[in-house]
Amino acid sequence: MSPNYIRSFSEGCLRPPTVIGQFHTLFFGSIRMFFLGVLGFAVYGNEALHFSCDPDKREVNLFCYNQFRPITPQVFWALQLVIVLVPGAFFHLYAACRSIKQEDILQKSSYTGFYIFSVFLRIVLEVVAFWLQIQLFGFKVNAIYMCDVGALEKKFNITRCMVPEHFEKTIFLIAMYTFTVITVILCVAEIFEISCRRLGFLKTQ
């Protein structure tokens, strides 16, 4: 791929053809990633080390933590961010290869339809991620986790485990849910903005 294609691709990703799309890029790329990268590490970084069960033995702690966290929240949210970026990245790669200028995307119906489809895919992926987050983490992190250790062939089947900083994790969960909702609202608003521009209610950029 030539340098011109790479430049067009990067400009398309950083400067979408709509005002709301540009705000979404700022919100998604800056605020959301900063929140996850910095605060997420502070909240979840040492969770496995401080997760303790009764009896406080390494094998029990490790077994119960794997049961408590089938996937760590940081990994889940990082995958969510990457996957949600894929539809837009494919569109802007297509636009770069076809030498489509950003200002021309809303002028031709086929380009506009392709772009709306990529935004719609973002909405679908965000909704799926929202549902998966509910299934994996719920809306609240309890201070006590009851772990089934029957597979370890212990005399006891259920043990109590202490979840560190459970209140901070609950706040962080709510924040991540909120970010997902805001992102979906921005995507819907972007489709509405495109429709208004195509109908002539708004001037094109």
Distance CA 172, CA 163 (A): 15
1 within a domain of the structure (yes/no): no
Task: Report pLDDT for 78.
Answer: 86
55 within a domain of the structure (yes/no): yes
Task: Report pLDDT for 127.
Answer: 94
Task: Report pLDDT for 5.
Answer: 43
8 within a domain of the structure (yes/no): no
CATH of the domain at 114: 1.20.1440.80
118 within a domain of the structure (yes/no): yes
Task: Report pLDDT for 86.
Answer: 85
Task: Report pLDDT for 21.
Answer: 78
pTM for the full model? 0.81
149 within a domain of the structure (yes/no): yes
Distance CA 45, CA 127 (A): 26
153 within a domain of the structure (yes/no): yes
Report the number of distinct structural domains present in the chain: 1
The pLDDT profile of the chain, 205 residues, written as one tens digit per residue, is 445 545 554 554 546 667 777 777 777 767 777 877 777 777 787 788 888 888 878 888 888 888 888 888 888 988 888 888 888 878 777 777 777 776 777 777 787 888 889 899 999 999 999 999 999 988 998 999 988 887 776 666 788 889 888 898 899 899 889 988 988 998 899 888 888 877 766 655 4
Peptide bond into 55 cis (omega under 30): yes
2 within a domain of the structure (yes/no): no
5 within a domain of the structure (yes/no): no
Element (H, E) at 45: none
Tokens for 110, please give them.
């086929």
Task: Report pLDDT for 9.
Answer: 44
Which residue range(s) make up the domain with 44?
19-204
Task: Report pLDDT for 7.
Answer: 53
Pair type for strands 144-148 and 52-53: unpaired
Distance CA 19, CA 17 (A): 7
